[in-house]
């Protein structure tokens, strides 16, 4: 018999996922659970936007760095959410 997810894990997962849209995260809930990561992702997104849309010529080096930071941060959040929603989570 596999262990049941903890009440806290189930609560976080239920809070983060929109009711009726189980694969679409709720932005406000994600921001609350991942406040530090959310700020970092927002900063990287702004860096990429400025480098690509507001610099002439485009600052490709900064944009790539920012997009890599976004990818890494989003991967960390996705892996954590997956771990929290897995049946083996504490």
Structure confidence at residue 29 as a pLDDT band (50, 70, 90): confident
pLDDT of residue 23: 55
> Would the pLDDT of 84 be above 90?
no
Query: What mean pLDDT comes out for the span 16-39?
Result: 71
The rounded distance, in Å, linking the Cα atoms of 69 and 41 is 8
Decide if 9 contacts 16 (C-beta within 8 A). no
User: What number of other Cβ atoms are within 10 A of residue 25's Cβ?
Assistant: 16
pLDDT of residue 41: 93
């Amino acid at each position: 018999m596999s262990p049941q997810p903890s009440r806290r894990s189930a609560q976080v997962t239920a809070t983060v996922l929109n009711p009726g849209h189980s694969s679409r995260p709720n932005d406000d809930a994600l921001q609350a659970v991942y406040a530090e990561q959310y700020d970092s992702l927002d900063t990287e997104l702004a860096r990429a936007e400025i480098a690509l849309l507001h610099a002439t010529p485009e600052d490709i080096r900064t944009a790539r760095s920012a997009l890599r930071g976004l990818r890494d941060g989003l991967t960390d959040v996705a892996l954590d959410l997956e771990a929290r929603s897995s049946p083996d989570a504490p």
